[in-house]
Each structure stands twice: as C-alpha cells, then as structure tokens.
C-alpha cells in the first residue's frame, strides 16, 4: 500500500519527528525579568530621573528622592508587565491550532496529539475539525473549509483533490484526507507566529519623550554649570554653590513627567473602557491621538461579518425562488444557532423572513436523491417528491455554469461587480424519478445575490475619521471586486485586496515609511502580525480571534469601529495634557535658573537658597503637576488634523511659549526681590514666595476649561500647595528648614497680587497665539 492510502508507519513517523521536530509554533526564547527591567531603565528620561535621585540624595532631600524613585519603579513595573502580556499573543496561536488530530498510521486510523504530526502524515478531516498542519487534499467529499481566520475571505472555500489546506482553518462541511506538506514553523500558522515575534518598536510618545529627555539632560547640566561658575567667580562658598547647582538640576528636570504621563494614560484608559475600548498597553492611549492613517480589515470590521441575502431576482415569484433555495440546502437553524455553510444559512434566514419554514417544506417535499456541491461542478442538485407523486429537480450553483439567458447573465454580472456572491437557482418537474440526475438546461427560477453588508455606523465612522484628518485605508484578504464595492459605498479611496498576512506587513511598513502613524484594525489570525507591526493594533472583542486580541494594543468590546474615533479623541486629550504639563513645569524650571543666573547682576548675591529651590520644586511639580494630567479635552479637538508625526513634543510653538511665560515669572520674581531689597524688606523670602505663587498661577491658567469646575483635583492641589507655601513663611519648623522670614500682611498681599501675573501671562498667551 502507498502512503496515500495507508499513511506512514509508526517507525517512519518517529524517525521524522526526531529529525524535523514537533508540529509546534516558534516561540521567542524567554527573556529574564532582570533584562526586561534593564531595558526599561535605559530610557533617557528615566536616566535623567535616576541622576536627579542621586543628586537629591547628595543634598539629603530624602522626600524628593523617594518620590523620584517611586515614579521610576512604577513606570518600570508597568513597562515590564505590558511587555510580558505582549508575548502572550504567540501562546494564543498555539491554543488556536488543533490539540489533537486523526491520522492513518500503519494502515489504521488513530488519534494523536497535533504536535506529533510529521510531514507526509495522512490526516483525516471531517466537519468541525481544525486542520492540524498544512496539507494537500488527496480525497474530498463535499469538503468545505472556512479560511476566514487566515485570509479574511468571508465565504468558505471548496476543496478538491490536489487543493491545499492550511493549519488553523476549520472544516465546515464534508470530509476527506490530506497529506501533510509542512509542520510547525514551516506552516501557515508558523509563518504568522514568526512574524508576530517581531516587536513594533517605540510608540510616537515614547520617541518624543526620548528626545526631550536627552535635550533636558544636556541643557540642564550646562546651565547649572554656568550658575556654579558664576557663583565661584563672585567668591561664593564652594560647598554652597555645588549644593545650589545640584538643587537647580533637580528643579529643572520635570521629574513628575512620567507620573503625569502615567496618570494621563491611566485616566484615558479608564474613559476608553467606559466607551467599550479596552486598553492592553497604556502608551496606546496617546498613540491613538497621533494617528494619521486608519487601516481597517473588511470582514467583521466594516461589515457585519455574516452572509445575508441582499438581492433577489425571481423569474416567477420570490416565494417559489426561496422555496427551491430552502429545499436544495443542507444548512439548518436550531435554537437560534446557524449550522452549515454560511451561504446556505443566509438562504434559510431570508426564507424564514418570508414566512417559509424549513421543516415544513422538507416534510411536504421530501428529498429522494441528491448530488452534493463540489468545486469542479460548482453546483448542488436535489430531487424531491411532490404531493401529487411527481418529482422536482432543483439545482443551485454558479451563474456561469447554469445560465444561458443573456438578461440573467448581465444581471448576475451587475451583482458580482457590486461585491455580491451570486447563485442561480433552476428547477423542473418530472413525472417519474430519473435514473440519472440531469442538472443543466433546467428552467431558471431566479438569482440570489448574497452579501456581507456594511455595518450601519461604518459610513459615519469613516466620515468622522476624514473630518479629524485621518485617512482610511482598506486592507483585506477578500476578493478585489468585493473589497472595492464596500470601499466605494463607505467612501474609502485606498484599497488593498487579496492581502496575505505577509503582504499586510509590507503595506503597513510602506505606510509607516511615508511618515504616517498607523492604526490597524482586525479580527482574524491573519491580522495578528499586522496588529503587532502597526503603531497601534485594534482588535474586535466579540468576533475577534484570541490571537488578534492578544496581539492588539486596544480591544473593542462592542466591535464598533466608531469606538476607535472616540478613542482617538481621548488620545488627543492625553497628548494635550502632557504638553500642558510641560509648559507649566519647564517654564517654572527655566524661571528658577534664570533668577539664579540674573539675580547677581541685579545686586542679589544668592537669590534663593538650595532648600528653597527644592521646596518650590516639590510643591509645583508635585500634586498640581500630576493633576494637570486629568484635564478634560478641549472642545473641537476632533475637527482638527492630527499633529505631524515628525513634530517634536515641544513643537508647534510650545518651546516659545515656555520662554515667554518663563520671562514673566523671572521678571515678577526679580522685580519683587529688587524692590524689597531697596526698601529694607526680607527680599529673599519675598522672592521665594513670589516665584512659587506665580508658578501655581501658571498651573491655574493652564486649565483646558478655565470657566468651569472640570478637574476639581487640580483646584484642590493648587490650593493646598499655596497653603504650604504660606506655611513655609509662618511655621517655625519650616522657616528654620528653609531659611525664610515671615512677611507683614501688606507685603504678603503685594506679592500675591503680583503673582497673579503668572495666571494672566498664560491666559493672555493662549489668546494671542491661539493655543490650547
């Protein structure tokens, strides 16, 4: 007996398993936890924070050091956890593949673990089986395979002898045998798994933070070195100036930035969850706000993901056409569940909506003979006994096989060009049961056009993307005519059809190489690599495969693409809040350095003591800075285009704004100090209070909706910080620690009034320069 009938022998299979390995998907070698931690700590901003922590330890500012280290620990932990979760996508592929399979060995059928299948094994396939490995069909009886998870094609594919079947696909009808041609990494699932091992790189936000971290490190060290040199040149004590320079480094570095980023992302993730968008990776929240291209799958994303009768073209009556379609049909509806070929299920559903009951029709017109559908004949034929004793022959199949009438051919072509799958139904009544079933030349009952209809909200979602400056692109494994028809109906100009998983990666990389920030939606196994490669992967939660959900950054619990638009708005809010915090923190840090640089030229030997600098930094960069991350979205944010992908986080006029506000803070502080010195007042304490209060004014003026009570946490944080600033002047323990003196009520009110200029500067700057 040959392998085609008896399969391999047990000895042959064992030898091949030993030589070629098991039928398992490739896995990345496990990364030890300490290596994951070191990877997170190499981030430039984290490095700056670690340096700042070391410097605060030198100055014995244990509180500030503890806060900085806590931020580092939290961010590192979040990064490591999310990295581990991403690795679970490969495990999801393994769960999708068949855990067991039936093979013929030594001439006998037996069930073995799918991992033990080897090349040239003869596998047995039947309805409901998951194909365990890539194979070539050697025998097929009405074999129909659902390949949608791999190709995106919504219609199952007929398989005959010599056709290929892929691992992970599902047999929905019929039975057969197949000889295995590839296992493990060499198979379809293996190739997808190998593509998913590759990471997607840094998010846009992470890339921008890397840049700002390097810039801050260089500029801060340089300016503080200048302060140190100037102090020594004026004859100041070396130890005092070293501590002052270190304090300025800590003050200039916005160590709350990671905390603000984490809080903003966490709040964004919580808001998205309330809108049915579940975030699996926190940076994905901000990435959505950067998106310039939305690449979407078709089946189940833009469309309903189920076959529906879209058009009927009867030659006699609709009822007669649907009755024949129900009789020449092997699908069934049971307890609300559809069983069988999706195309035949669509026919039953349409008939039920027309009042036709499958069970009643089959009882009235029992089937007495049949010729099942196969991919060669492209048709199915059944014979039924009529109540009067005669017989009815019904045939349904491909129009190009059954049609002869020119009008019907033209109508079928029109349906096909619009993206429909077209079936022709023919029938004839006979006086006697025929010895052979004649299928061709029967009178035409009509045409049935079956579609996977677009989702009701899809067109509105695509329009909303366009208004927000996001270009929609359709990438699908489906037939070009179907893909272009759906795209035309929804207003999508760019279409990539018949895209295999590796082709989707090429398309995504090409879009990213153009400089676009890409969001990719999908639900099938074939979408897994693309979801990983995109800047942000979005998976369908209900109908999506576990592979797609594990590979994605965002999962839509309601499978509604409109949820992506809501998530984009949330992403833009997060990015705006990060920029809002940077204006607040950097303008304050720049003002502190400027005061220390320019003060001596105004006759102020040492404008602020090191402890005073650190206190201001603790109050302003602490809770008020973090609370800025919870600001609501600015109205109209979705009516503007996304920011350019190459734009710095300090771009679009932000660094100029930082300088303008820093100038105001510096002038207020130095003005108060010089006036107080010339009038014999405690000038250093007044400068200390003015700088801190003016910075808090900047925080208050940075609110997204200043005339509302939105984000009450920010109001409470600023109020609490102002009280602590007052306590630094009037509580003896704090006065001794910070070297301050109490102010007379009149002097305090004067400083408070001038500090309002910090608030005014921000508000006026936003109005004059039309910034958020």
Q: How does DSSP assign 444-506, residue by residue?
A: EEEEEEEE-PBPTTHHHHHHHHHHTTPEEEEE-SS-HHHHHHHHHHHT--EEE-S--HHHHHH
- Are residues 588 and 248 in contact, defined by beta-carbon separation less than 8 angstroms? no
DSSP tally for the chain: helices H, then strands E: 29, 22
Domain(s) labelled CATH 3.40.1110.10 in the chain stretch across: 310-448
Provide the CATH topology of domain 290-304+455-559: Rossmann fold (3.40.50)
pLDDT at 513: 85
Question: 660-664, 688-692, 701-705, 723-727: which range is least confident on average?
Answer: 701-705
Share of the chain above pLDDT 90, in %: 22
Res. 45 pLDDT band, cuts 50 70 90: low
pLDDT at 90: 40
- Are residues 88 and 105 in contact, defined by beta-carbon separation less than 8 angstroms? no
Among 666, 689, 678, CA closest to 742: 689
The 10s digit of each residue's pLDDT in 428-458 is: 999 888 877 778 889 999 999 998 888 888 8
Superfamily of domain 310-448: Calcium-transporting ATPase, cytoplasmic domain N (3.40.1110.10)
* C-alpha 677, offset from chain centre: 58
The 10s digit of each residue's pLDDT in 612-667 is: 877 887 788 777 877 887 788 887 778 888 877 677 777 778 888 999 999 999 99
Burial category of 427 from C-beta neighbours within 10 Å (exposed 0-12, middle 13-18, buried 19 and up): buried
Domain(s) labelled CATH 2.70.150.10 in the chain stretch across: 3-197
Res. 381 pLDDT band, cuts 50 70 90: very high
Burial category of 372 from C-beta neighbours within 10 Å (exposed 0-12, middle 13-18, buried 19 and up): middle
**Angle 446-141-3 from CA coordinates, rounded to 5°:** 155
What architecture does CATH give domain 204-272+574-633+644-768?
Up-down Bundle (1.20)
pLDDT at 272: 80
Active site residues: 297
The model scores a pTM over 0.85: no
The 10s digit of each residue's pLDDT in 1-14 is: 344 567 888 888 89
- The Cα–Cα gap between 584 and 631 comes to 13
**Radius of gyration of the CA atoms of the chain, in A:** 35
pLDDT at 263: 66
The 10s digit of each residue's pLDDT in 413-435 is: 999 888 788 999 999 999 888 87
- The Cα–Cα gap between 603 and 438 comes to 110
Res. 722 pLDDT band, cuts 50 70 90: very high
Share of the chain above pLDDT 70, in %: 81
pLDDT at 243: 66
Question: 164-168, 184-188, 246-250, 604-608: which range is least confident on average?
Answer: 246-250
* C-alpha 13, offset from chain centre: 43
Q: How far apart, in Å, are the Cα atoms of 682 and each of 127, 298, 593, 674, 740?
A: 89, 71, 21, 11, 8
Q: How far apart, in Å, are the Cα atoms of 501 and each of 152, 342, 736?
A: 10, 24, 68
pLDDT at 96: 44
The verdict on domain 3-197 having CATH code 2.40.50.140 is: no
Q: How far apart, in Å, are the Cα atoms of 726 and each of 557, 689, 735, 743, 745?
A: 49, 8, 10, 10, 12
- Are residues 170 and 130 in contact, defined by beta-carbon separation less than 8 angstroms? yes
Domain(s) labelled CATH 1.20.1110.10 in the chain stretch across: 204-272+574-633+644-768
Q: Please, what is the average pLDDT of the chain?
A: 81
pLDDT at 28: 59
- The Cα–Cα gap between 111 and 123 comes to 10
- The Cα–Cα gap between 298 and 124 comes to 32
Whether 771 shows a pLDDT value over 70: the answer reads no
């Amino acid at each position: 007996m040959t392998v085609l009938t008896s399969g391999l022998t047990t000895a042959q299979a064992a030898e091949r398993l030993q030589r070629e390995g098991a039928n398992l998907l490739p896995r990345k070698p496990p990364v030890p936890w300490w290596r994951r931690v070191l990877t997170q700590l190499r981030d430039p901003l984290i490095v700056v924070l670690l340096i700042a922590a070391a410097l605060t330890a030198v100055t014995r500012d244990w509180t500030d050091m503890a806060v900085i280290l806590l931020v580092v620990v939290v961010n590192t932990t979040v990064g490591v956890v999310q990295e581990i979760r991403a690795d679970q996508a490969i495990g999801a592929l393994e769960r999708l593949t068949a855990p067991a399979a039936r093979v013929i060995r030594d001439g006998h059928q037996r069930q073995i673990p799918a991992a033990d299948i080897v090349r040239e094994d003869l596998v047995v396939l039947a309805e409901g089986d998951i194909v365990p490995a890539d194979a070539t069909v050697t025998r097929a009886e009405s074999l129909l395979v659902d390949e949608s998870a791999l190709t995106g094609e919504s219609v199952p594919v007929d398989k005959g002898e010599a056709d290929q079947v892929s691992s992970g696909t599902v047999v929905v009808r019929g039975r057969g045998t197949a000889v295995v041609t590839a296992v493990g990494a060499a198979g379809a699932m293996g190739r997808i798994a190998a593509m998913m091992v590759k990471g997607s790189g840094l998010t846009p936000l992470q890339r921008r933070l890397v840049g700002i971290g390097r810039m801050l490190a260089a500029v801060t060290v340089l300016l503080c070195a200048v302060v140190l040199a100037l102090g020594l040149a004026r004859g100041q004590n070396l130890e005092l100036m070293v501590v002052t320079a270190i304090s300025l480094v800590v003050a200039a570095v916005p160590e709350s930035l990671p905390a603000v980023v984490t809080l903003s992302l966490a709040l964004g993730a919580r808001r998205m969850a309330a809108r049915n968008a579940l975030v699996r990776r926190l940076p994905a929240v901000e990435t959505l706000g950067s998106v310039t291209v939305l690449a979407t799958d078709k089946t189940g994303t833009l469309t309903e993901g189920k076959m529906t009768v879209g058009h009927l073209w009867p030659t006699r009556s609709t009822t007669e056409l649907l009755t024949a379609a129900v009789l020449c049909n092997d699908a069934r509806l049971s307890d609300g569940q559809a069983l069988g070929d999706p195309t035949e299920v669509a026919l039953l559903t349409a008939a039920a909506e027309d009042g036709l009951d499958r069970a009643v029709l089959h009882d009235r017109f029992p089937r007495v003979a049949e010729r099942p559908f196969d991919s060669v004949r492209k048709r199915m034929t059944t014979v039924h006994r009529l109540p009067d004793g005669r017989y009815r022959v019904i045939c349904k199949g491909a129009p190009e096989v059954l049609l002869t009438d020119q009008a019907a051919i033209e109508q079928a072509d029109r349906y096909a060009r619009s993206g429909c799958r077209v079936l022709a139904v023919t029938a004839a009544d006979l006086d006697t049961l025929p010895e052979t079933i004649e299928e061709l030349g029967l009178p035409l009952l009509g045409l049935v056009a079956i579609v996977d209809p677009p989702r009701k909200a899809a067109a509105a979602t695509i329009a909303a993307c366009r208004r927000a400056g996001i270009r929609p692109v359709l990438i699908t494994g489906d037939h070009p005519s179907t893909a272009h028809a759906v795209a035309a109906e929804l207003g999508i100009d760019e279409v990539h059809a018949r895209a295999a998983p590796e082709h989707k990666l090429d398309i995504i990389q090409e879009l990213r190489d153009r400089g676009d920030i890409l969001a990719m939606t999908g639900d099938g196994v074939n979408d897994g690599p693309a979801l990983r490669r995109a800047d942000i992967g979005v998976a369908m939660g209900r109908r999506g495969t576990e592979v797609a959900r594990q590979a994605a950054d965002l999962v839509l619990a309601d499978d509604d693409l409109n949820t992506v638009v809501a998530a984009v708005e949330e992403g833009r809010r997060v990015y705006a809040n990060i920029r809002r915090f940077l204006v607040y923190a950097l303008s304050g840090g720049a003002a502190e350095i400027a005061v220390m640089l320019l003060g001596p030229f105004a006759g102020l030997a040492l404008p602020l003591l090191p402890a005073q600098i650190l206190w201001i930094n603790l109050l302003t960069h602490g809770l008020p800075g973090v609370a800025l991350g919870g600001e609501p979205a600015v109205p109209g944010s979705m009516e503007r285009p996304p920011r350019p992908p190459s734009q710095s986080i300090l771009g679009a006029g932000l660094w100029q704004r930082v300088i303008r506000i820093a100038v105001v803070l510096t002038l207020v502080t130095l003005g108060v100090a010089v006036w107080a010195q010339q009038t014999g007042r405690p000038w250093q304490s007044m400068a200390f209070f003015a700088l801190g209060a003016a910075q808090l004014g900047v925080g208050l003026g940075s609110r997204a909706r200043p005339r509302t009570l939105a984000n009450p946490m920010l109001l409470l944080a600023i109020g609490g910080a102002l009280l602590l600033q007052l306590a630094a002047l009037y509580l003896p323990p704090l006065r001794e620690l910070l070297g301050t003196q109490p102010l007379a009520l009149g002097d305090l009110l004067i400083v408070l009034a001038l500090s309002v200029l910090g608030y005014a500067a921000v508000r006026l700057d936003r109005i004059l320069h039309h910034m958020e």
